[in-house]
Structure 1
Amino acid sequence: MTVLLRRISLIVLGLALVTLGARPASSQAPTRGHAAEAHDMELVGHDDLQGRSAYQPTIHQQRGRVIAYVGHHGGKARNPLTGTEEDNGTSIVDVTDPAKPAKASTVASGLTSTHKNFWECDTGTAYLISGDLVKTDPLQLGPSGWRTWRMTKIYDLSDPTRPVFVRDFGLAGQQPGSSGPIPVAHGVHGPIVLGNRVYFAYGTSGEGLLQIVDRQKLLSGPKEPTAANLNAPEISRLQMAPNWGGHTAFPILRVPIADWAPNTKEQTRDFVFLVSEAIANECRESRHASFVVDITAETRPFGVATFQVPESKGNFCKRGGRFGPHSSSESFAPIFYRKLVFVAYFNGGVRAVDVRDPYAPREAAFYIPATTERTGERCVTNGTRSCKVAIQTNNVEADERGFVYLADRANTGLHIVRLTGEAAKITGGN
């Protein structure tokens, strides 16, 4: 296994012809909402993605080009090329020149919705998030019988023309035929694979759980979804507080702790950066955060630090939309790995987190994009309905060149940024 592992993170793959109209970075002056804000980070390029609500950007180098694949939330939008309204699908953007994202197109037909998946490019193994639970109270199961909104279906797609089903996987107690309380009814959000480990984040925004799994046992062990078989590949789990959930579990392994250099043992440690998703507009929920979990002793994961953006830094709870973390970057690119993690923070934009000392993570930079005429309103009701226009940076990814990609949930498009100043020096840049 290598770190040439990539995500296919597509919310909806429907009938779609997505042809992208690129806009230069200079088009960011808003006519409503708010202007851009930044510290040690600057905008390089922007594409409006036809005003489609965007989810996970996945970046690949292919045949001398750099391509951004952006999965979208469900819905429809007008395609300016054809003049017709078309289902959202997957936007494909040539970002070889990040200052001038180039339009591209794709057709995806005959497919249905999924959520956040992971594909091992070197083996073809795909971890696909699925689920058909109807409701939990009272319990009403879907055709599969799984007692969770989301579980993992694993396929061997090394030959995409002949997909081979490997197994279903989830927590014991979620499987068909089980009884009693459902462990994490919301289910898994997304797996990340590194080496012989799979890191599963469950719960998304509440009743969360981090699970570390032996990949070889997961793929080669008994496949029938019994409690014993589901527990067999598990190395450990960490139960989160009920008001926090697991959205993204990003492994940061073999981190040298500079202050521990004089010590004679364990100066290098392993961690998971665990993100809990904010889900309510204008802070009408518990505050969410990101957590650093020490997994050096794999069977005893232990939380050692928390990263938050103070609301008082930007009066974020009154700006409109969600405020708080959604997800982290998942790039193993050497320019950033073990140095910086990027966290999508909804109306707080993207936050660059210095994790060189994982026991004391700190903010190194941030960028909050400007709203545009495409940015959608976010509303709350408290006797009367009130709506505001604010950026909603939804997901973020980084590439090996040092560019960071922000996908906006509120239809503002794809922003491409880079570090400047002291933050750039962390990566060895100027």
Structure 2
Amino acid sequence: MTHTPDHAHGFSFLGHSDQGGRPDGCQVMVVDGFAYVAHAFSGGLSVIDVRDPRDPRTVGFVAAPPGTWSVHLQAAEGLLLVVNAKDLFADTEFQVESDYYTRSVGQPALQAERGYAAGLRVFDISTPGQPREIAFMPVEGVGLHRLWYTGGRWAYASALLDGFTDYILLTIDLADPAHPVPAGRWWLPGMHEAGGETPTWDTDRWRYGLHHAIVDGDTAYASWRDGGLTILDVADRTAPRLVAARNWTEPFGGGTHTALPLPGRDLLLVADEAIADDGADGDKRTWVLDIRNPANPWPISTFPQPADEDYLAKGGHFGPHNLHENRPGSFVSETLAFATYQNAGVRAYDLTDPYRPQEVAWWVPPAPVRMVDTRPGRPRVVQSFDVFVDAELRAYVTDYNAGLYVLQYEGEAR
């Protein structure tokens, strides 16, 4: 298999893994020389020894329970947290992409037969590369989608629970990691149907549901897909409180996915996910917001769009997906950002002048050798999913079908 990129500047190739024959990759964490890669279609997570980044070796696989997604995970302080949820991509209700991305998913997902595990799995990874399950926290509903955990007592999850139209914020108490406990909830008004609330948005057109929140100190920056951005005070983890809300879905097409604070500069990066083929959902951007006044976050610029190819004509999704999230122990910077852009690969941006972000590097993998995506009609093009950058500026990039790429950023750390 050739790993010659379609386009490259500022990154060099180090290694590649097909993840033990399971090349579908979602979120990736790298800890103590091992990559933990969640899967979208293979039902579990893979453990890859990347201590030699030029020769990554798959050393383990942890299966998800039958019928269960484990698409996102977090690792910190000797723990690996893994979501469990109904495998929505295997559900006949969501075989067409637009049925997943462009409407509230609560009712059809919650009405399905419950042959799956919903909740949070906790693993001990104090022995590197050897996850050992120590706890499971069940929830009533579809389950969890994405997590935020950087150590300590508190974790934060998006959770689709009985009675809600879509995923909401759930805080989780990990004071005893062997016995995690749900602690607090927050949702957009209109989402709690069981509580008598009625959505104020068109649920057949827009999807208001939490993708995830990133927490800095006592502040959570939460991305609600077509419901926009909220800034929440979580000083009381049992009762989050709204500080500010912004929604630019109309006219910009929604899909708010990741909100990454740069607290030393009072900036917030917000990526709007491209969720339709051929740009059908509009021109998706990564925004730079000034948050000096947290009650009034204000956009000041967007990242430049990739211009080394006509990516709208390439097929598949083109536009932002995940940002490298400046996790403790990884590469941390407030002037150099890394992002995946789906069919445009992985990108790096210089934010020295936040009013004029500059693209400084990119690496676009070749088309996948085979398709693992089980949904009908998906095009055979790269769809770079997640990026994790370690302290040596090595980028670990996952893809829905093309395995794990390990790249070296060749520019200066900023």
Q: Does 1:89 align with 2:85?
A: no
Name the residue aligned to 2:244. Answer: 236
Q: State the AA in 2 paired with 1:43.
A: F
Question: Using the alignment, how far apart are the partners of 2:267 and 2:357 within structure 1?
Answer: 12
SS at 1:303 equivalent: strand
Are 1:295 and 1:301, in contact at CA under 8 Å, matched by a contact in 2?
A: yes
CA distance in 1, matches of 2:373, 2:59: 28
Once the two structures are superposed, the pairs formed by residues 30-109 of structure 1 within 5 Å of their partners are: 35-49=5-19, 50-61=21-32, 66-73=33-40, 75-76=41-42, 88-109=43-64
Instruction: Output the CA distance in 1 between the equivalents of 2:284 and 2:341.
Output: 10
Seq. identity, %: 28
8 A contact 1:174–1:182 mirrored in 2: no
Match in the other structure for 1:22: none
* Equivalent residue letter for 2:55: K
Distance between the aligned counterparts of 2:3 and 2:238, measured in 1?
Answer: 54
Shift of 1:324: 1.0
Structure 2 matches for 1:262-277, cutoff 5 A?
270-277=266-273
Q: Work out whether 1:288 is the aligned partner of 2:284.
A: yes
Alignment pair present for 1:28 and 2:57: no
1:254 is paired with a residue whose SS is: helix
Name the TM-score, length of structure 2 as normaliser: 0.73
**What is the aligned partner in structure 1 of residue 396 from structure 2?**
405
SS for the counterpart of 1:282 is: helix
Q: Secondary structure at the match of 2:155?
A: strand
Deviation at 1:282, TM superposition (A): 2.0
Is 2:304–2:357's contact at 8 Å kept on the other side of the alignment? no
Residue 169, structure 1, aligned to residue 169, structure 2: no
- Secondary structure in 2 aligned to 1:116? strand
**Is 1:252 paired with 2:259?**
no
Q: Deviations over 1:356-406 (max 9, x none)?
A: 2212111010000123423568999xxxx8x74221101112112211111
Match runs of 1:221-232 below 5 Å: 221=239
Aligned AA (1:131): L
- Report the AA paired with residue 338 of structure 2: F
User: Structure 1 375/353 Cα, relative in aligned 2: closer, same or farther at 3 Å?
Assistant: farther
Please say if residues 246 and 276 of structure 1, whose CA atoms lie closer than 8 Å, have aligned partners that are also in contact.
Answer: yes
Alignment match of 2:274 (pick from 271, 274, 278): 278
Change (3 A) 1:407 1:43: same
Are 1:41 and 1:366, in contact at CA under 8 Å, matched by a contact in 2?
yes
Distance 1:301 1:178 in 2: 31
Quote the residue 2:197 is aligned against.
179
The alpha-carbon deviation at position 304 of structure 1 amounts to 0.5
1:118 matches 2:118:
no
Question: Structure 1 residues 379 and 198, CA, compared in 2 at 3 Å: closer, same or farther?
Answer: closer
CA RMSD of aligned residues (A): 2.5
1:145 to 153, 160, 163: 163
Rate the CA distance shift 1:115–1:179 in 2: closer, same or farther, 3 A. closer
CA contact (8 A) 2:7 2:308 kept: no
**Contact 2:34–2:48 (CA under 8 A) maintained in structure 1:** yes
**Aligned partners of 1:319 and 1:379: how far apart in 2?**
19
Tell me, in whole angstroms, the C-alpha distance in 1 between the residues paired with 2:217 and 2:372. 40
Alpha carbons 1:378, 1:390 under 8 Å: kept = no
State the SS of the aligned residue for 2:312.
helix
CA contact (8 A) 1:376 1:389 kept: no
Q: CA deviation at 1:151?
A: 1.1
- Counterpart of 2:317 in structure 1 is 322
CA distance in 1, matches of 2:148, 2:55: 28
1:372-383 aligned at under 5 Å gives the runs 372-375=368-371
Conserved in 1, the CA contact under 8 Å of 2:147 and 2:157?
yes
The one-letter amino acid of 2:186's match is F
Structure 2 residue identity aligned to 1:145: G
Q: Residue by residue, what CA displacement relative to the aligned partner does 1:212-251 show, whole Å, maximum 9, x if unpaired?
A: 111213x144xxxxxxxxxx61121222232123100000
Matched, 1:216 2:235: yes
Q: Which runs of 5+ in 2 are unaligned?
A: 69-83, 86-143
The 3 A distance-change label for structure 1 pair 233 and 402 is: same
Tell me, in whole angstroms, the C-alpha distance in 2 between the residues paired with 1:107 and 1:308.
Answer: 39
Structure 1 CA distance for aligned equivalents of residues 163 and 10 of structure 2: 50
Distance in 2 between the 1:57 and 1:109 partners?
Answer: 16
Q: Which amino acid aligns with 1:250?
A: L
Specify whether residues 57 and 240 from structure 1 end up closer, same or farther in structure 2 by C-alpha distance, changes over 3 A only: same
Within 1, Cα distance between the matches of 2:62 and 2:183?
28
**Residues 52/235 of structure 1: CA separation in 2 closer, same or farther (3 Å cut):** same
**Considering only CA atoms, is the larger Rg found in Structure 1 or Structure 2?**
1
Indicate the SS of the match to 2:355. coil
